[in-house]
Amino acid sequence: MKTWNDLRIGLKLGVGFAVVMLATAVVAVFGRYALEGVGGQVHELVEHRQASVGKARDVKDELNIVARGVRNVALLQDAKQIDAEIERIRGCEARIAKLLDGLKAGDLDGEGSKRLDAVFGARETYTPLLTRALELATANQDAEARDMLLKQVRPAQAAYLKSLDTYVEHEVARMRASAEATEAAIARAETVMLLVALFALGCGGALGWLITRSVTRPLRSALQVTERVSAGDLSGPVPAGGRDELGVLLRSLDGMQDSLRQLVGGVRGNAESVATASAEIARGNQDLSQRTEEQAGALQQTAATMEQLGATVRQNATSAREANTLAHGASQVAAQGGAAVDEMLGSMKSITASSRQVADIVGVIDAIAFQTNILALNAAVESARAGEAGRGFAVVAGEVRTLAQRSAESARQIRTLIGQSVERIEQGAAQAERVGRTMHEVVQAIGRVNTVIETISTASAEQSDGIDQVGHAVGQMDTVTQQNAALVEESAAAAESLRMQAQQLVGAVSRFQLPQAA
């Protein structure tokens, strides 16, 4: 007998969806049935109860119009106005008769029929009295008509209206009862639909849990197996599953694990053979490494010699360039020394001329300032003697003294210029000192040129020795190269053995299909 776990996944999902759809269909059918019942009750409420109440209220409105007409007939004196009111009353009575016939043809229960009969009875009492009163009014018997309207028609009319109110109250009560019944039916339908929906949700949830459990547990087991295999553990068991697709997957994983065990055993044996061949290759490589080291040492010596030779050649070239540069520099230094001397001479001449001019100017300014000061003093004395009349002259004397003071200030500035001239003279002395140093550098540069020439000669001798060492190193490289050739033959034989072992390993692995390389 098949259990739930033995069913196919598609069948499980189909059962779950079928249950949910069936529950949805039940909810839909019951909802339609409930809506039809509610619709019938609403139709009854609107078409019958509300229509009956409306007609009864229309009758009452017409009676109120008749009552106003009766009042007008009793109060009016004009015959035309009375006739108009009578015509309006008769029209209302005709409409009332039509409305009452409609009420009588409606859906009535026992109490409603009884109360409607009371309305008709009141009408049968009221109508003859009204007709008689209107006939009296038409016959110009106003007093009799007025007396009959007030004493007989009005009480009959009140009874008529009261019977209508009683009928309307009954119909309104029936309408309320229908509305309450409709609300109760809606509430019952909502309750039943809610219960059915909850049942459907419960069934759907239970089936969903069962389906999820029956799918996730085998998937979890399959995931654990694949994780173990990917980690290299092939010793663990694969749990048994049902007869569905996931059970088939677990059994396939079990078979795959057995195949991997056999494959790993074969690969392990071949790997041991490869290890042996690799050991032979390693020993040969060790010998090759030793010889290669010897060859590398010789090459290093050769490289060092060549490097030294290159350095010597480069040094010779550099020395030659440096000699040329120094010679050119010595020439430039000598030229700079001559220019500096010329510049120094020009500066000294300019300073001498400036000093002479400044001395002359200072003498003139001092004389002017002295004479101006004397004149200012004399003017001040004369202005004092003149009293009030010499006040203006005293002002002029003050301005003259101010001018004398400014002249003195100019003299001080000129002395400052003289100080600057002294500084220029010191600069000239410094330039003369630089000329001396420049000439000394020229002498040193010429000495360095001689030294460089000697260095070039020595480097040429070293180049000859380096060439001899290169020849010796080349001989050693030839010997080592011959030894390496024999070692290459041994390595080739070991490589062939390793190739055969690799082919066997590929044959053991080829039973598995691998994805194409991108």
For 148-190, how does the pLDDT look when each residue is reduced to its tens digit (9 = 90+)?
888 898 899 889 889 888 988 887 887 788 778 778 878 887 8
Residue 423 has pLDDT above 50, yes or no: yes
Read off the pLDDT band of 441 (50, 70, 90): confident
pLDDT of residue 495: 67
- What six digits make up the tokens of 79? 């015959």
Q: Helices (DSSP H) in 231-244: which residue ranges? A: none
Residue 259 has pLDDT above 50, yes or no: yes
Q: Which residue has the tokens 């003139």?
A: 364
Residue 297 has pLDDT above 50, yes or no: yes
- Per the model's pLDDT, the better-predicted residue between 168 and 41 turns out to be 168
pLDDT of residue 437: 72
pLDDT of residue 467: 56
Check: pTM over 0.75? Answer yes or no: no
Angle, vertex CA 41, rays to CA 35 and CA 47, nearest 5: 125
Read off the pLDDT band of 480 (50, 70, 90): low
Question: What domains are there in the chain, each with its CATH number?
Answer: 4-225 (1.20.120.1730), 289-504 (1.10.287.950)
| Cα(252)–Cα(270) distance, integer angstroms | 27
pLDDT of residue 515: 44
Read off the pLDDT band of 271 (50, 70, 90): low
Indicate the burial class of 427 (C-beta count within 10 angstroms; 0-12, 13-18, 19 or more): middle
| Contacts for 427 with CB less than 8 Å, ≥ 6 apart | 347
| Contacts for 15 with CB less than 8 Å, ≥ 6 apart | 7, 207
**Contact call for residues 316 and 454 (beta carbons, < 8 A):** no
Q: Which of 16, 14, 25, 12 is nearest to 197 (CA)?
A: 25
| Cα(437)–Cα(432) distance, integer angstroms | 9
Average pLDDT, the chain: 74
| Cα(15)–Cα(44) distance, integer angstroms | 43
- What six digits make up the tokens of 108? 């009535």
For 385-419, how does the pLDDT look when each residue is reduced to its tens digit (9 = 90+)?
877 777 776 777 778 778 877 877 887 787 787 77
Residues 330-337: contacts with CB within 8 Å, 24+ apart?
330/442, 330/445, 330/446, 330/449, 333/438, 333/441, 333/442, 333/445, 334/438, 334/439, 334/442, 336/438, 337/435, 337/438, 337/439, 337/442
- Per the model's pLDDT, the better-predicted residue between 466 and 339 turns out to be 339
- Per the model's pLDDT, the better-predicted residue between 386 and 474 turns out to be 386
From residue 393, how far is each of 77, 379, 404, 418 by CA, in Å? 139, 7, 16, 37
Which of 273-287, 433-447, 465-479 has the largest mean confidence? 273-287
Residue 387 falls in which region: left (phi positive, over 0), alpha (psi -120 to 50) or beta: left
DSSP 165-177: HHHHHHHHHHHHH
Query: Coil, strand or helix: which one is 208?
Result: helix
Residue 6 has pLDDT above 70, yes or no: no
- Per the model's pLDDT, the better-predicted residue between 88 and 348 turns out to be 88
pLDDT average, residue stretch 436-440: 66
Residue 514 has pLDDT above 60, yes or no: no
C-alpha torsion sign, points 222, 228, 232, 237? negative
